[in-house]
């Protein structure tokens, strides 16, 4: 399975020092150049992201598609736009994106969407991330200022008990 990942999931997983969950859940993990620049070079350096690129499980790829903005894409930042263009270009199995507008546009483009919590659930159900760690991750995300709605947290915790 392939995934194109946006900046927020990379940052969130780095907060809990579990970027390694991405290659456990997805066979191929890609980030567009704009996302890599945002996360690594623009002052948002997160531990492990540059190492993941060096280890080659996280591949930085520029979309070949023209960034000409379709009306449906208005309001997205450059990283989100590149995530969606790259995902469409390679016919990715998943777009890993947390931002509400980006998720809506991805769905409108008929791209399958998973967020950071979805990655945690996939790792959990694969036996690679215990439920206790899932609970700690939610606490760490909120402590780090990553916004999660109470409804989303409730949904996530309910999924763990299935």
Kindly report the CATH number assigned to the domain that includes residue 17: 3.40.50.1010
pLDDT at 71: 40
Question: What phi-psi label fits residue 29: left (phi over 0), alpha (psi between -120 and 50 degrees) or beta?
Answer: beta
pLDDT at 122: 97
pLDDT at 40: 79
pLDDT at 77: 86
pLDDT at 139: 95
pLDDT at 92: 97
**Residue 147 structural domain:** 2-160
Q: Per the structure, how many domains does the chain have? A: 1
pLDDT at 41: 73
The number of C-alpha atoms within 13 Å of 59 and in the hemisphere containing its C-beta is: 12
Residue 115 · residue 107 · CB < 8 Å: no
> Low-confidence residues of the chain, pLDDT below 70?
42-48, 66-74
Cα torsion 131, 124, 93, 153 to 10°: value is: -10
Name the nearest CA neighbour of 5 among 36, 44, 42. Answer: 36
What pTM value is reported for the model?
0.90
């Amino acid at each position: 399975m392939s995934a194109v990942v946006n900046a927020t999931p990379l940052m969130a997983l780095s907060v809990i020092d579990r970027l390694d969950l991405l290659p456990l859940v997805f066979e191929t993990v890609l980030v567009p150049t704009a996302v890599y620049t945002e996360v690594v070079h623009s002052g948002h350096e997160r531990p492990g992201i540059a190492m993941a690129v060096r280890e080659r499980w996280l591949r930085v790829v520029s979309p070949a598609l023209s960034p000409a903005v379709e009306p449906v894409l208005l309001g997205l930042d450059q990283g989100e736009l590149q995530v969606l263009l790259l995902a469409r270009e390679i016919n990715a199995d998943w777009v890993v994106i947390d931002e509400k507008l980006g998720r809506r546009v991805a769905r409108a483009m008929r791209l399958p969407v998973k967020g950071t919590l979805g990655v945690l659930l996939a790792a959990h159900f694969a036996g690679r991330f215990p439920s206790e760690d899932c609970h700690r991750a939610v606490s760490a995300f909120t402590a780090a200022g990553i916004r999660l709605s109470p409804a989303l947290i409730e949904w996530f915790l309910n999924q763990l008990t299935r």
